[in-house]
A = this chain, B = another copy of it.
């Protein structure tokens, strides 16, 4: 009897949870496991704001995939996914193609610019290791250049962050700590630096506890961040952005660094493959399969499940992707062993913590609110937990955050 082949696309939080659980749950004689990923490393998407600001080296936010998979049981293919031919049970890769019996799509998110002009050309993003270190170096180059010019261009010291959501706020928290270091490094007057957060929505961190949001905003303001809430970016141009307030008013904000952190969408491979989706996210069944497809699972940022409590989709978070990965592995193992009844997804909310830099954060967990040192401690525990869940204690030891006191 031929062994079924299980192919997992993407080695993010969801994909790696799936593959590390499957390699434990299934014996070598039960199935062939193949993991496909663009890079030979996994990166902690939720730590990229630190690498982007330059407060944590990018090698601290990534690790070799081969360190967490059992290479006796899992074949690793380094390739980019180009298209999924779901009707034919095969995937087109940059390096060839691969057939499957079960497929897990865990390709993660992409930046969503909502068609705003110029963002693709002139704005940086925090979407992967390459983008993060480019952004870090860009900011540093602006500071390094400032004093070389006879006529000082203060816009070199201005950084606009588009978006006051999780990524934008966490990035600003790191920047607020990094800027004094950059000023010292390049003999720049701190008071010339501008950190501007531009957000179209009327609030910061929508969905977060308002009291904690107030705490975060006033903390960041004290550190020099200027908030422009209810202000939409109309266009990104070389050297700045155009914002609108209301219908008529338009204003230019000069800044050599513009970072777009205001939106994500599912992977565009989903649409390229003809799978029905909303901004790259596929409404999956509670067993994580695509409706009508017995062998096609989608988890993480490319999947969409409605939170019945508030009748809105669950957000694309690492926590959810990891829980889905665990479930996905159990369901596939069940199918391989002839089970017909699959388990369904139920979100186990372990809380949410938003970092505001090295030693400050806000969060909710265990039905309580946290801020300051306690929240910061919690955040590091959340970060270490992700390492532990996928890579075990040795990975926590290697890449964990222990600067906790």
Contacts and interface: CB of A to CB of B under 8 A. Distances in A.
A276 B402 CA distance: 65
Interface stretch (A98-106, A135-143, A242-250, A267-275): A135-143
Question: Chain A contact residues: over half helix, strand or loop, or mixed?
Answer: helix
A261 B131 CA distance: 32
B134 A141 contact: yes
A145 B137 CA distance: 9
Contacts of A136: 144
Contacts of A186: 133
Contacts of A185: 133
Contact of A144 (B134, B144, B147, B148): B134
A37 to B, nearest CB: 14
Contacts of A147: 130
A226 to B, nearest CB: 26
Contacts of A144: 130, 133-134, 136-138
A139 to B, nearest CB: 10
Query: Which among A130, A131, A148 has the greatest number of chain B C-beta atoms within 10 A?
Result: A148
Interface in A124-180: 130-131, 133-134, 136-138, 140-141, 144-145, 147-148
Contact of A141 (B130, B131, B137, B148): B137
Query: Which among A137, A147, A186 has the greatest number of chain B C-beta atoms within 10 A?
Result: A137
A147 B148 CA distance: 28
Contact of A134 (B133, B134, B137, B148): B148
Contacts of A133: 144, 185-186
A137 B134 CA distance: 11
Nearest to A41: B187
Nearest to A59: B185
Contacts of A131: 148
Contacts of A140: 137, 140-141
A243 B85 CA distance: 51
Contacts of A138: 141, 144
Contacts of A137: 137, 140-141, 144-145
A200 to B, nearest CB: 26
Contacts of A148: 130-131, 134
A69 B260 CA distance: 49
Interface in A264-319: none
A369 to B, nearest CB: 39
A238 to B, nearest CB: 15
A54 B326 CA distance: 45
A308 B140 CA distance: 49
A152 to B, nearest CB: 12
Nearest to A131: B148
Nearest to A143: B137
A148 B136 CA distance: 13
Nearest to A145: B134
A131 B136 CA distance: 19
A148 B131 CA distance: 6
Interface in A177-204: 185-186
Interface in A96-131: 130-131
- 10 closest A-B pairs by beta carbon, nearest first, are A137-B144, A137-B141, A130-B147, A130-B148, A134-B144, A141-B141, A133-B144, A134-B148, A134-B145, A137-B140
5 contacts: A130-B148, A134-B141, A138-B141, A140-B140, A140-B141
Given A134-B148, A138-B144, 16 more contacts: A130-B144, A130-B147, A130-B148, A131-B148, A133-B185, A133-B186, A134-B144, A134-B145, A136-B144, A137-B140, A137-B141, A137-B144, A138-B141, A140-B140, A140-B141, A141-B141
